[in-house]
Amino acid sequence: MHEGQARAYTNIALIKYWGKKNEELILPMNNSLSLTLDAFYTETSVSFSSQLQADTFVLDGKLQESAATAKVSRFLDLAREAAGTQLRATVKSTNFVPTAAGLASSASGMAALAAATNAALGLELSDSDLSRLARRGSGSACRSIFGGFVEWEQGEDDQTSLAHPVASDSFEDDLAMLFVLINDKQKDVSSRDGMRRTVATSAFYPGWLQSAPQDLATLKAAIAQKDFTTLGETTEANGLKMHATTLAAVPPFTYWSPQSLVAMDLVRSLRARGSECYFTMDAGPNVKVLCRRQDEAFIKAAFAEIFTPERLILAHAGPGIQYF
């Protein structure tokens, strides 16, 4: 029996990853940059045993059906190949984050799976190698290996596509992110399918690709200068551009719901009243509001006038992968 356990935190991209240039290796079309957060995470244990005939995957206490298990199995194959073993595994995972709701369960889930497998098979991967491996499970997972601000270099092949921490002189500790949970049910269009459809069909996709590098450069300069206003403005603009591409896909789709628009409007009106905050959204209707940590109580209170308390979760910068 070979066992390993790990915890990984979710990350939310400030400059989004949206589109692949290689589906099999999960190589993205553009570099992305995220903030790892402390409020949502996944804990996973993996045990390989000669007694097992097949891989099994238990998520939140429920044995998963074949499609979800096959995805985990394909990922385990990569680690088995690296370790030179045929052993099957039992994977038990708990998401302290709603699954497939645009709250980045794929990032924490696949990062935790990669790290637990690394420990179970004694691969002794460096964080960089772990980031490469996690990327094969889900692109955004490569960023959850590290804490704080993290950039994913798109690279050109398996070796060169990986994440690394972005030096920030602890700027991330001045920040907070308020999660506005509009809907935590599984979404209709997964990020994988949504980005595939967008790359293949959206008339706006070239515009996205053209502007993402400049957004990234602006955001990195803002981190270096601890310039919250530029950080927020760039985050919000980049997220809106990503979501604009989905409207021009064939068939068109959107992750926004009426309540998402209500949250976005509140951010704009808070800003107009002098309370600086900015929003971003991922592949789901939930809205994430970036603000200075010193303003978080006021901003949360403003949201509490519209959204019930259980729908509001404050997060701060979180750590990288943890073994336990």
What is the nearest approach in angstroms of ligand ADP to the Cβ of residue 173?
25
Stretch that binds ligand ADP, among 48-56, 99-107, 265-273, 316-324 (CB under 6 A): 99-107
Q: Which residues of 182-203 are buried (b: 16+ CB within 10 A; e: fewer)?
A: bbbeebebebbebbbbbbeebe
* Amino acid identity for residue 290 in this structure: L
User: From the centroid of its chain, how far is CA 105?
Assistant: 7
Stretch that binds ligand DP6, among 138-146, 170-178, 245-253, 260-268 (CB under 6 A): 138-146
For residues 100-129, which are near ligand ADP according to CB under 6 A? 100-106, 109-110, 113
Cα dihedral value 58, 64, 69, 71, nearest 10: -100
Q: Mask 199-238, x = binds ligand DP6 (CB under 6 A)?
A: ----------------------------------------
- Residue 151 makes contact with ligand DP6 by CB under 6 A: no
Q: How far is the C-alpha of 36 from the C-alpha of 19, rounded, in Å?
A: 21
305 HSE (CA, 13 A, CB side)? 9
- Rule CB under 6 A: choose which of 6, 8, 13, 178 binds ligand DP6: 13
Closest to ligand DP6 by CB, 47 or 108 = 108
**Closest chain position to ligand DP6 (CB):** 139
Closest to ligand ADP by CB, 134 or 299 = 134
Q: Is 270 exposed, middle or buried (0-12, 13-18, 19+ CB in 10 A)?
A: buried
- Residue 31 makes contact with ligand DP6 by CB under 6 A: no
- Residue 191 makes contact with ligand DP6 by CB under 6 A: yes
Pairing of strands 88-96, 56-59: parallel
Q: Which residue's structure tokens are 């939930």?
A: 286
- Residue 71 makes contact with ligand ADP by CB under 6 A: yes
All residues at 6 or more sequence positions from 29 whose CB lies less than 8 Å from its CB, including other chains? 18, 19, 20, 21, 154, 199, 209
Closest to ligand ADP by CB, 57 or 205 = 57
Closest to ligand ADP by CB, 69 or 168 = 69
- Residue 181 makes contact with ligand DP6 by CB under 6 A: no
Q: How far is the C-alpha of 247 from the C-alpha of 250, rounded, in Å?
A: 8
Q: How far is the C-alpha of 18 from the C-alpha of 198, rounded, in Å?
A: 9
- Residue 140 makes contact with ligand DP6 by CB under 6 A: yes
Q: Mask 267-306, x = binds ligand DP6 (CB under 6 A)?
A: ---------------xx-----------------------
Q: What are phi and psi of 10, to 5 degrees?
A: -70, 165
Contact 36, 317 (CB under 8 A): yes
Binding residues vs ligand ADP (CB under 6 A): 42, 59, 68, 71-72, 93, 95, 99-106, 109-110, 113, 138, 190-191, 282-284
Rule CB under 6 A: which residues touch ligand DP6? 13, 16-18, 26, 32, 106, 138-140, 191-192, 282-283
